[in-house]
Amino acid sequence: MRCPRDQNILIDPDSAQLSVFADNGLHRCEKCQGMLLNAEAAQSAIAREMLDQMHEAFTDEGSEAALDCPICDSKMRVRSIVFSKPDGSNTEPIELDGCPTCSSFWFDAGELQSLVPPLGSAGEDPEERTMALAFLVQMLMLLPHRIV
């Protein structure tokens, strides 16, 4: 399976041997640091359910993106998503590319990084940055959200 941005081979969720990747079905690109979430690859029932719910917002709505889904090769669609923080405020909207055919979603690294303060020294090491972003995705999966 290849990255929809740079065509590098995506790293499978199980290859990291860390539950955060396997639980959420996170494939990742070492080059661009983007992450693909896929409901079928997610081992966590909570993650699968949330991804399936999000998928419904992409079946008929959203603009066609310039990306092909790495799972099924369908043209992905882009929508904005806003997450509700525990304090009741909302995050800034980020663009999310979703497949209208399967329950797969692509997060560009820059989109995820916009949701958190600077990663400090983790920002210098790509592996540590990837781990920090993976934990962010896991936290986002638990927050209420709305697709606008």
Residue pLDDT, tens place only, 126-148 = 666 665 666 566 656 655 667 76
Q: Which residue has the higher pLDDT, 139 or 95?
A: 95
Nearest to residue 99, comparing CAs of 136, 60, 137? Answer: 60
Beta strand segments in 3-144, E: 26-28, 35-38, 63-68, 75-83, 94-98, 104-107
Mean pLDDT across 53-65 = 90
Mean pLDDT across 101-126 = 72
What is the enclosing helix (H) or strand (E) of 145?
strand 145-147
What is the enclosing helix (H) or strand (E) of 86?
none
Q: How far apart are CA 26 and CA 138, in angstroms?
A: 10
Residue 120: alpha-carbon gap to chain centroid: 22
Q: Classify residue 121 by burial, with Cβ atoms within 10 Å: 0-12, 13-18, 19+.
A: exposed
Mean pLDDT across 91-107 = 90
pLDDT digits (tens, 9 = 90+) for 2-39: 999 999 999 888 775 656 776 777 888 989 888 898 88
pLDDT digits (tens, 9 = 90+) for 63-85: 999 999 999 999 999 999 888 87
Global pTM reads 0.76
* pLDDT bucket at 89, cuts 50 / 70 / 90: confident
